[in-house]
Amino acid sequence: MDRAICAYDLDDQGDWVAELSCGHAQHVRHRPPFQLREWVLEPEGRREHLGTSLDCPRCDDAEMPNDVRLVRSSPQWDEHTMPAGLRRSHRLATRTWGQVVVRRGRLRFLAHSVPALDLVLGPGATQAIPPDVLHEIEPLGQVSFSIDFFSLCRPETAAHTTADEEPQLEGGGESACFAHLLCAECGVVLDGGAHAPGCRAGP
């Protein structure tokens, strides 16, 4: 999954680490001949690459980043009360992570990533849901589950500095993006976008 570079940090060894829009971090080293990123050595090069994409293997594995906070939990649903939209392909908002928590029974979780993530979750299982990834949930018989929503703790754009350079971007404070409740009718996350076609809860 491609994720945008939002900011940079230096690690303890003096290597640059890109902070990605998903909340994960990834080294961006210049070590020729195998790693050719000469742009990372200069402030102008780093600034020019803000917003460009890197492949994020941790998102491919649906691994939730550490720097998140729980902002809301859904009701506990079963195979009859779950929103119909959860059974169809839908996605979470950018910078919003989810986590399916199975209480009883079994669920099929399918994420339309490349390669696809197709799992059967049993009682007590949890499954992270990356942002911006089409996915769907299918109950396999009687089931009880809920979904937790998490927001990234880091600001959407953060300052990137070294000991001898001033911040180039303003940042800090709370993240502008908060997780929102799913529409009970169509399953869309209510982030200001449109409801699914035909949704009775839409405008």
Residue 185's pLDDT is what? 52
Tell me what percent of the residues of the chain surpass a pLDDT of 70: 76
Q: Is residue 100 predicted with pLDDT exceeding 90?
A: yes
Model confidence, pTM: 0.73
Q: What is the pLDDT of residue 130?
A: 95
Average pLDDT score, the chain: 82
Homologous superfamily assigned to 68-152: Jelly Rolls (2.60.120.10)
Rounded Cα distance between 193 and 95, Å, is 15
- Band of residue 127 on the pLDDT scale cut at 50, 70, 90: very high
| Interval 176-197: pLDDT, tens | 233 344 554 555 555 445 666 6
Structural domain boundaries of the chain? 2-60, 68-152
Closest CA to 137 of 151, 127, 149: 127
User: Average of pLDDT values for 98-114?
Assistant: 95
